[in-house]
């Protein structure tokens, strides 16, 4: 069987790139590839059964070696038997420039898909980087949104857009036991912010949304619980954001939960509202996951959100809690209309089946079908 190796800085259970990489791994297996993984590290909770090889020099922020020769030799050995290589963001964003150039060098003239999530010009701190993404006539470039595809075209790189795909019938988590583990009262309104804690995820706005919902529910309805809404941030702090996060959570005027999620299914089952007020995302999986889990989402104004709204999604504005609060107080049949609509859009426009067809077409046109 033809072998496909998927390469990234790391793989983990909640990182957005990793979630999409698993979607692609399943799709590639369905096309006929025997899939394995190559990464700089594996995070706790990663439970994919396919073989994985760890090469430490590929990790995020790994110290730059004085001589990249040993890393190049190790990468070349790891990829020696691969018929196709998919690079998930490692050759896109300069989190480890040495690793990016070593992997690109190992793939020159070979079948490879460079899967781009967030190129350097989309991050202020990387705007000066001009040597990524690399290019080669043997490769194919794929972006996860049309915005990035257009920006790459402006830079002389031809790409196709394949939006992330989602299981139209995801596993259903255990709401009662999940909320019990979090120490919640049955009447508590739980706002989950299913992200890693970094500046662009706008933790302060998610907390403000939670605080506002708590105040509005108790003041506007005789029947509403007087208990404040609870904010749940399951992901770790990264990129030096820890000290600022500590201050934000300490100042929050609502209960805060910092336990990791046992699974994505349980996370959405436990939640009443999904907060996603990000200022920037390459795609933004949680609002789509929320639609499939039949949960309302309050999102930020990051540019790609407009592309997703154009597909038909009806999401609340994370900066304006009033409409969401009104919806939470509405009768169940009125709530169901919105939930039905968003679920239908997600299953129609962003299914794993649709993503697989688009990926299979790309591979077939490149002549790489097993």
Confidence of residue 44 (pLDDT cuts 50, 70, 90): confident
Q: Are residues 94 and 159 in the same domain?
A: yes
Q: What is the pLDDT of residues 247-279, one digit of tens each?
A: 999 999 999 999 999 999 999 999 999 999 999
- Please give the pLDDT value at position 239: 87
Q: Are residues 140 and 8 in the same domain?
A: yes
- Please give the pLDDT value at position 35: 98
Does residue 145 form part of some domain? yes
Distances (CA, A) of 275 to 17, 32, 157, 254, 289: 19, 38, 34, 15, 12
Confidence of residue 215 (pLDDT cuts 50, 70, 90): low
Q: Are residues 10 and 77 in the same domain?
A: yes
Q: How many domains does the chain have?
A: 2
Q: Are residues 201 and 314 in the same domain?
A: yes
Q: Are residues 105 and 180 in the same domain?
A: no
Confidence of residue 66 (pLDDT cuts 50, 70, 90): confident
Q: Are residues 158 and 188 in the same domain?
A: no
Q: Are residues 56 and 93 in the same domain?
A: yes
Does residue 36 form part of some domain? yes
Mean pLDDT for 91-96 is: 96
Does residue 136 form part of some domain? yes
Evaluate whether 177 touches 145 at the Cβ level (below 8 Å): no
pTM above 0.85, yes or no: yes
Structure-model confidence comparison of residues 63 and 229, the more confident one: 229
Does residue 170 form part of some domain? no
- Residue-number span of the structural domain to which 196 is assigned: 175-349
- Please give the pLDDT value at position 336: 98
Reply yes or no on whether the pLDDT at 321 is more than 70: yes
Reply yes or no on whether the pLDDT at 219 is more than 80: no
CATH of residue 271 = 3.40.50.2000
Reply yes or no on whether the pLDDT at 216 is more than 80: no
Q: Are residues 192 and 150 in the same domain?
A: no
Token code pair at residue 160: 């196709």
Percent of the chain with pLDDT over 70: 96
Token code pair at residue 133: 């993404």
| The Cα angle at residue 284 between residues 282 and 287, in degrees rounded to 5 | 160
- Please give the pLDDT value at position 223: 42
- Please give the pLDDT value at position 136: 98
């Amino acid at each position: 069987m033809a072998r496909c190796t998927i390469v990234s800085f790391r793989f983990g259970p909640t990182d957005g790139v990793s979630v999409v990489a698993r979607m692609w791994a399943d799709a590639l297996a369905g096309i006929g590839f025997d899939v394995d993984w190559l990464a700089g590290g594996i995070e706790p909770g990663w439970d994919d059964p396919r073989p994985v090889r760890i090469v430490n020099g590929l990790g995020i922020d790994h110290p730059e070696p004085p001589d990249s020769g040993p890393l190049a030799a190790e990468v070349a050995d790891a990829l020696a038997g691969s018929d196709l290589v998919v690079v998930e963001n490692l050759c896109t964003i300069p989190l480890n420039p040495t690793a990016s150039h070593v992997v690109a060098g190992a793939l020159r003239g070979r079948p490879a898909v460079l899967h781009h999530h967030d190129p350097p010009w989309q991050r202020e701190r990387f705007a000066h980087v001009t040597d990524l993404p690399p290019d080669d006539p043997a490769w194919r470039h794929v972006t996860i949104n049309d915005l990035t595809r257009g920006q790459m075209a402006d830079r002389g790189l031809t790409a196709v857009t394949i939006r992330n795909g989602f299981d139209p019938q995801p596993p259903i988590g255990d709401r009662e036991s999940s909320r019990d583990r979090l120490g919640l009262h049955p009447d508590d309104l739980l706002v989950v912010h299913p992200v890693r804690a970094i500046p662009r995820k706008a933790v302060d706005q998610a907390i403000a949304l939670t605080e506002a919902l708590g105040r509005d529910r108790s003041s506007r309805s005789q029947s509403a619980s007087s208990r404040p809404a609870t904010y749940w941030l399951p992901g770790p702090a990264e990129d030096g954001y820890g000290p600022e996060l500590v201050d934000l959570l300490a100042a929050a005027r609502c209960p805060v939960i910092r336990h990791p999620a046992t699974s994505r299914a349980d996370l959405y089952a436990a939640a009443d509202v999904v907060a996603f007020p990000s200022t920037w995302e390459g795609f933004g999986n949680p609002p789509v996951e929320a639609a499939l889990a039949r949960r309302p989402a309050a999102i930020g104004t990051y540019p790609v959100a407009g592309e997703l709204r154009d597909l038909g999604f009806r999401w609340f504005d994370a900066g304006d809690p009033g409409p969401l609060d009104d919806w939470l107080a509405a009768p169940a049949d009125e709530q169901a209309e919105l939930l039905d609509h968003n679920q239908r859009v997600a299953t129609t426009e962003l299914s794993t089946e649709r993503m697989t067809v688009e990926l299979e077409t790309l591979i077939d046109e490149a002549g790489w079908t097993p």
